[in-house]
């Protein structure tokens, strides 16, 4: 995942490290939520007791924040996508060649979003983390 970080992104990452004492380079926006990816073993440290770090960052930035586990490979894609789109549920996620396909769900329109905004955001996230295309079936 090679991505240029802008100045606002640097501010988010520095604030995250200052509050949580966990260093990460991975963050993205999905559905107006800022999501930080940390290694699974550091997830509880980043969240802190009673999610106090999460609340503190949310109060400072005045935005919704979520901290999720970073995928180790394509085998973690289903758990990663589920963490990103939560609380929405889907039936399955399949990797077919160079494509990641999200199968079914209660409300397909919720995955796509108005003017396909969430679909485009998820396509960018999947491309950055796994180097594959994304579509909803």
Q: Give the residue extent of every domain in the chain.
A: 7-69, 74-136
Give counts: helices (H), strands (E), the chain: 6, 6
Give the pLDDT of residue 39: 92
- Taking 3-state DSSP, the helix, strand and coil percentages for the chain, each rounded to the nearest 5, stand at 50, 25, 25
Which uninterrupted H or E stretch holds 56?
A: helix 52-61
> What band does 51 get if pLDDT is binned at 50, 70 and 90?
confident
Q: Tell me yes or no: is domain 7-69 CATH 3.40.50.300.
A: no
Domains 7-69 and 74-136 share a fold: yes
Does 3 have pLDDT greater than 80? Answer: no
Mean pLDDT of 59-84: 90
Rounded CA separation 134/124 (Å): 8
pLDDT digits (tens, 9 = 90+) for 76-125: 888 999 999 888 888 888 888 899 988 877 678 888 888 989 999 999 99
Q: Which helix (H) or strand (E) holds 12?
A: helix 7-20
Question: Over 90: is that where the pLDDT of 73 sits?
Answer: no
Distance CA 1, CA 72 (A): 12
Question: Helix or strand or coil: residue 99?
Answer: strand
pLDDT confidence band for 19 (50 / 70 / 90): very high
CATH domain 74-136 topology: GMP Synthetase; Chain A, domain 3 (3.30.300)
**What are 23's two structure tokens?**
């260093």
| Beta-strand relationship, 33-38 and 26-30 | antiparallel
């Amino acid at each position: 995942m090679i991505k240029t970080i802008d100045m606002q992104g640097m501010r988010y990452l520095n604030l995250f490290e200052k509050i949580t004492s966990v260093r990460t380079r991975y963050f993205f926006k999905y559905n107006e939520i800022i999501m930080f990816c940390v290694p699974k073993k550091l997830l509880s440290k980043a969240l802190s007791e009673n999610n106090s770090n999460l609340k503190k960052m949310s109060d400072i930035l005045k935005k919704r924040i979520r901290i999720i586990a970073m995928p180790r490979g394509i085998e973690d894609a289903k758990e990663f996508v589920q963490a990103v789109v939560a609380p929405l549920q889907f039936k399955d996620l399949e990797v077919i060649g160079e494509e990641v396909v999200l199968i079914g769900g209660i409300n397909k329109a919720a995955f796509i979003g108005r003017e396909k905004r969430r679909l485009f955001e998820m396509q960018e996230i999947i491309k950055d983390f796994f180097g594959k295309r994304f579509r909803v079936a």
